[in-house]
Structure formats: C-alpha cells, structure tokens
Amino acid sequence: MEINSKYRLEEFPLNLRVIEAFDFEIEPILLLEQDSIGNNFLSYLTYSDFKKEQRACLQISKERLNEILANEITLKFAFENPENNHIFITEFTHKTGSLITSYLIPKFELENLFNALQR
C-alpha cells in the first residue's frame, strides 16, 4: 500500500508497550498498547510478510475501548472515526522490531487509506 509521503513522520513520537493481545494468530493481530503517560492505543495488523509488518495505531479513550469490548461499536467504526481525528501507520522489521517508517494520517484521508488496505 502506497501512502502519500506528505504524511510521513521524521520520527515516531510514541514509545508504546503492549498491555494486552486481543487477537493473536501466528502473530499479534490486535493489541492494546500504552504510551509513557498512560494513553491507550489500539494497534491493528494491516500487513505482514517475512520482512516487515504494518500496523494502524489508534489512540483510544477508556470509554471508547469499553464500547468496543461491549460490542456497542465495531472496530471498523473506531478506526474510521478516531477520537483525535488521526491514526498512525507504522512499519517495523520482523527481524529486529526496529521502526522502518511511520505516518500520521488525518481523518479525511482514512476512507482512501482503508480502501487501499482492502485491495
């Protein structure tokens, strides 16, 4: 998937740690992660091969997380309607877990992005 380079970040601003794996097959599909000041993020695996993995990362309030867990809203709805009007896309190497690149995608571009992910 090609992402417009104008959304590329020079540096990924978050230092996330995994709190819980909600969906795990061969590798983690959906993770709950937390930054150093306690903000929650959902991290969803969008692409993986033997070299890298790509994730959509969404900051999420405890209230919205509870809505997802209670099946009041879907994961798709949460990612298409982020509370802070953007999501991060990150790519990491499988071998070392090092960050390859990251993007900050505004809400108005998300429909195009998700359509590209489904191809």
Question: Tens digits of per-residue pLDDT, 6-47?
Answer: 999 998 988 999 999 987 777 788 999 999 999 999 999 988
Distance (Å, whole) CA 41 – CA 61 = 8
Please give, one letter per residue, the 3-state secondary structure of the chain.
Answer: CCCCHHHECCCCCCCCEEEEEEEECCCEEEEEEECCCCCEEEEEEEEECCCEEEEEEEEECHHHHHHHHCCCCCHHHHHHCCCCCEEEEEEEECCCCCEEEEEEEEHHHHHHHHHHHCC
What's residue 57's pLDDT? 95
86 burial (CB, 10 Å; 0-12 / 13-18 / 19+) is: middle
Percent residues over pLDDT 90 in the chain: 64
User: If you average pLDDT over residues 91-99, what whole number do you get?
Assistant: 90
Lowest mean pLDDT among 13-17, 57-61, 96-100, 107-111: 107-111
Mean pLDDT of all residues belonging to the chain: 88
- What confidence category does residue 114 fall into, taking pLDDT thresholds of 50, 70 and 90? low
Round to whole Å and give the CA distance between 67 and 112: 25
Q: Is 29 within 8 Å of 23 (Cβ atoms)?
A: yes
